[in-house]
Chains A and B, each alone.
Chain A
Amino acid sequence: MTKELFTQLVSVEQKSLRRFLLALCVGNREEADDIAQESLIKAYLSSSGYNDKGKFTAWLYKIAYNTFIDHMRSACTMSPLDDAHTVMDRSSADSTFEYQELYQALDGLPPKERTAVLLFYIKGYSINEIAEIVQCSTDAVKKQLSRGREHLKKTLER
């Protein structure tokens, strides 16, 4: 895939991808955009091996999900000082405090459940498609969705 074609495809998808990542990062814009950039670079680097015609978006989301999980893992090894910095970033991330309730509810979900819920509701992907993106069985995705919905229900009702 040429750089021009890749850029063309990405320019159509980037907005939707960034919104998904923003929800996944529970409102932390800097982190969401960093992950989006890193995911797109990874996608470009492996685009020569991409031959799944018609599933470019799902392929991008798979890379974005993996990159997000890698970020989560590296964040676990952060020092307490770094953690404090992140918390400060998060509180000031969404200046309008829009969707703060939703982000707080999503924050209580484990990453896999959060991803399943977001792919289902924001992107409208089917269970099978989600299973392919998060590399899980369909049964596992069904459980993640069910638990995610339950948690969101409880949190948003409060």
Chain B
Amino acid sequence: MKQDDILADIFSEYNPTLYDDAEFMKALNTKLEAVEYIKQYNHAQIRRSRYMVVAALVMGIVVGVVSTAYLLLFAGTGPVINISVDSSVLMFIIEHSRAISLMIIAIFMVYAIIGLINAYQEISTYFYSRKNRVIGGRATIDNN
């Protein structure tokens, strides 16, 4: 215990001079402002990408449904569109309108699926970051 007293005395007298407090706080405030700016920027980016994902999803579903319904209304193997024109390009489009429509549907459906996957990832990331939010541990800087 005597030794403990010696250590207690040594540490009770421990009062080293530090670099200027005001300078330290000024440097810290500058960094906090930078962090705040990055946080706001990231939040804005995330919000924007979420809106885009939702828009892509809605657009994909709407176009997919409308195109499928349109194709179903014109069952059979003939062209979907029938316009009497002389242009060879338009004639080609009319002749292959069924295949072109299917391709467009496929593209929008793929777009919708990508949107769905992104939405799922966004949601799971959100729940994961909420679950792991901390507590002062190592490697806990939330990049969001």
The chain A residues found within 8 Å of chain B, CB to CB, are 3, 6-7, 10-11, 14-15, 18-19, 22-23, 27, 29, 33, 36-37, 40-46, 48-50, 59-60, 62-63, 66, 69-70, 94, 96, 98-99, 102, 117-118, 121-122, 149, 152-153, 156
Contact = CB atoms under 8 A, between A and B. Distances in A.
B10 to A, nearest CB: 6
The secondary structure that dominates the B interface is: helix
A21 B15 CA distance: 12
B128 interface: no
Contacts, number: 101
A16 to B, nearest CB: 10
A41 B31 CA distance: 8
A23 B136 contact: no
B32 A41 contact: yes
A111 to B, nearest CB: 14
A29 B3 contact: no
Nearest to A49: B133
Contact of A45 (B14, B138, B142): B142
27 contacts: A7-B25, A7-B28, A14-B28, A18-B18, A29-B18, A37-B27, A41-B32, A42-B141, A44-B32, A45-B142, A46-B136, A46-B142, A48-B133, A49-B134, A49-B135, A50-B135, A59-B136, A62-B137, A66-B137, A94-B16, A98-B16, A102-B14, A118-B11, A121-B12, A149-B3, A153-B6, A156-B6
Ranked nearest first, the 7 interchain pairs of A and B with the lowest CB-CB distance are A121-B11, A49-B133, A63-B136, A62-B136, A66-B138, A46-B134, A153-B3
Given A96-B17, A149-B3, A46 B24 contact: no
Given A15-B18, A98-B16, A152-B7, A46 B28 contact: no
B35 interface: yes
Most B CB within 10 A of own CB, among A7, A46, A156? A46
Nearest to B27: A37
A66 B136 CA distance: 8
Nearest to A121: B11
Contact of A46 (B14, B15, B29, B135): B135
Contacts of A69: 138
A122 B17 contact: no
Given A41-B35, A48-B133, A49-B133, A22 B16 contact: yes
Given A23-B14, A102-B10, A15 B21 contact: yes
B39 to A, nearest CB: 8
A98 B134 CA distance: 38
B17 A3 contact: no
A10 B28 contact: yes
A116 B136 CA distance: 18
A46 B138 contact: no
B138 to A, nearest CB: 5
A62 B140 CA distance: 12
